Amino acid sequence: MITTITIFLPLVGVLLMLLLRSADERTVRYTALGVAAAPLLLSLYVYFVHGGDLRGAPLLTQSFEWVSSLGIGYRVGLDGLGFGMFFLSALLTLIAVAASWDIRENLRQYFAILFVAEIGMLGVFAAQDLILFYVFFEITLIPMYLLVGVWGDENRRRAATRFFIYTFLGSTTMLAGFLALGILSGPEFSVVTLTEAGGTLSRAAQVAIAVPILLGLLIKVPAVPFHSWLLDVYVSSPTSTNVVLSGILPKLGTYGLIKIAVPLLPQGVEPFLPYVAIFGVINIIYGAFVAFMQPDLKALVAYSSIGTLGFILLGISSGNALGLNGAVMQQVTHGLYSALLFILVGIIAARAGTRRIDELGGLAARMPWAGGLLVLGALAAMGVPGLAVFVSEFMSIMGGFETFPVQGVLAALGIVLGAVYLLHMVRRVAFGPIERPALQEAGDAGPIEMAAIVPLVTLLVVLGVFPSLIVSVQRPAVEAVLAAIGGS
């Protein structure tokens, strides 16, 4: 019951935003903050009360048969695989609300749409039914389309349209795969039942079904040949939309791989795993090279964010405990650091009036907090030990190396490349002389802005020092996935 309540709590926010017709901006913002805090508090409650019990089988479940003749039902529950992202969805929505200082027009509508997206995000990571998973998966799509298209920059229309067509194409193919999977194995759409049954279909059928599902999920991630739509979207979005877009949406794809594709179609996915690893490596290396060439700070961060998704793909493809744990954790840490960098870019661009790297410079002197945190964010993105991203990337690479040595080595090389472009960026943006007159009198990040940043930095540091806080929760669930695919 608590899971259902948490998922649909943002609905209250949607209604409040529609009702607060004559309220001033301040009231709207504080109401939205209050509503956004509620799911976060509930998921913290789940963590501290039930965290130890989040085993392989989902906890706090609720289910009822909906169309019994087809085995379709409303089934939700939290397990170690989804909980990290469930928590992060609630956290990043709250941060997106806080970071919405650049949204001036139609603020109520902005928050209402954001809350609809939150329902979808929370729902995906708690869904235990294929149809329900798909429904929540798609509920995130339209709000994101509107957030980008209405509140983005001048290129927003094209970006939003391409975003929608690509992801809809991906999710429709995925749906066809889901429906085929559910019908042929019963009909039965419960993820738990299907995982326990563990690939009852023939190998050929599994492969045939795995193709559309993998394709749809890889478009969603996006893996590199399918990525062209994402850059426009990242660059055109307002800062607070970026937080959710980069932090959560790609994880819908990777989570689908871990939660559904791998355990439900073990034999079907197996022949494609080397290619998934290759996709991961391409993401890492291609992302690093292209990021290095970007003159625009936001585009650099966008490519960095797309690139490091590759570690998740590599970890998933490994099929061993180390790699999968790394992938599940990287989903969270990647969300933390890319949200942090996008917010900082937003702050810096607003102060300087430009995002061009060669026009910036000397930020650390004028804005010690923002500049310093930019350095910290870059270090996190590089995977420097002591910060959370290091742990998850390291586990993904080691796991990947065990199964696919070549891809593992190349991915490790990607870390070096990442260091090159990130340090290059930091040197030009944070240090050196101040070139832009607008920056001469720019103030540092204000209290609201710091409030949006601090939780992210804190988590990056705390999880870097105590990774077991998250790994202990996810490990039993990862072992259940390994049991389903018959690995070690």
Which two tokens mark 277? Answer: 């690893």
Q: Which residue has the tokens 């799911």?
A: 39
49 binds another protein (CB under 8 A): no
164 binds another protein (CB under 8 A): yes
Q: What region does 407 belong to: left with phi over 0, alpha with psi -120 to 50, or beta?
A: alpha
Element counts in the chain: helices (H) and strands (E)? 25, 2
Which is nearest to 9 in space by CA: 147, 141, 123? 123
Rank residues 151 and 404 by Cβ distance to another protein and give the closer one.
151
Task: Tell which one of 37, 139, 398, 419 touches another protein (CB under 8 A).
Answer: 139
375 binds another protein (CB under 8 A): no
Task: Tell which one of 4, 63, 172, 193 touches another protein (CB under 8 A).
Answer: 172
Of 180-188, 293-301, 449-457, 479-487, the segment contacting another protein by CB under 8 A is: 180-188
Task: Tell which one of 83, 86, 125, 134 touches another protein (CB under 8 A).
Answer: 134
183 binds another protein (CB under 8 A): yes
Q: How far apart are CA 317 and CA 282, in angstroms?
A: 14
149 binds another protein (CB under 8 A): yes
Q: What region does 86 belong to: left with phi over 0, alpha with psi -120 to 50, or beta?
A: alpha
Which residue type does 474 have? Q
Q: How far apart are CA 164 and CA 102, in angstroms?
A: 24
Binding mask 91-110 for another protein (x = CB under 8 A): ---------------x--x-
Which is nearest to 341 in space by CA: 367, 308, 368, 302? 302
Task: Tell which one of 59, 180, 350, 451 touches another protein (CB under 8 A).
Answer: 180
CB atoms inside a 10 Å sphere around CB 30: 12
Task: Tell which one of 161, 193, 354, 472 touches another protein (CB under 8 A).
Answer: 161
Q: How far is the CB of 136 from another protein (least distance, A)?
A: 9
175 binds another protein (CB under 8 A): yes
270 binds another protein (CB under 8 A): no
184 binds another protein (CB under 8 A): yes
Q: From the centroid of its chain, how far is CA 473?
A: 18
Task: Tell which one of 29, 156, 251, 475 touches another protein (CB under 8 A).
Answer: 156
Task: Tell which one of 67, 416, 448, 454 touches another protein (CB under 8 A).
Answer: 67
Q: Is the peptide bond before 263 cis (omega within 30 degrees of 0)?
A: no
Task: Tell which one of 169, 350, 398, 423 touches another protein (CB under 8 A).
Answer: 169
The site that binds another protein (CB under 8 A) totals a number of residues, namely: 34
Q: How far is the CB of 305 from another protein (least distance, A)?
A: 25
Q: Which residue has the tokens 């937080």?
A: 243
142 binds another protein (CB under 8 A): yes
Rank residues 165 and 406 by Cβ distance to another protein and give the closer one.
165
Rank residues 119 and 485 by Cβ distance to another protein and give the closer one.
119
138 binds another protein (CB under 8 A): yes
421 binds another protein (CB under 8 A): no
Residue 59, strand partner residues: 78
157 binds another protein (CB under 8 A): yes
- Angle CA 167–170–175, to nearest 5: 120
Which is nearest to 430 in space by CA: 482, 346, 367? 367
Which two tokens mark 34? Answer: 């209050």
Q: From the centroid of its chain, how far is CA 220?
A: 11
125 binds another protein (CB under 8 A): no
Q: How far is the CB of 131 from another protein (least distance, A)?
A: 7
Q: Which residue has the tokens 């990607």?
A: 414
The burial class, CB within 10 Å (0-12 / 13-18 / 19+), for 357 is middle
69 binds another protein (CB under 8 A): yes
186 binds another protein (CB under 8 A): no
Of 23-31, 80-88, 177-185, 395-403, the segment contacting another protein by CB under 8 A is: 177-185
Q: How far apart are CA 186 and CA 65, in angstroms?
A: 15
Q: How far is the CB of 173 from another protein (least distance, A)?
A: 7
Rank residues 90 and 179 by Cβ distance to another protein and give the closer one.
179
Q: Cβ neighbours of residue 276 under 8 Å, at least 6 residues apart? A: 214, 218, 257, 313, 316, 317
Q: What is the dihedral of CA 118, 120, 121, 122, to 10 degrees?
A: 80
The continuous run of DSSP H or E covering 337 comes out as helix 321-352
Interface residues toward another protein, by CB under 8 A: 66-67, 69-70, 106, 109, 131, 134-135, 138-139, 141-142, 146, 149-150, 156-157, 160-161, 164-165, 168-169, 172-173, 175-176, 179-180, 182-184, 187
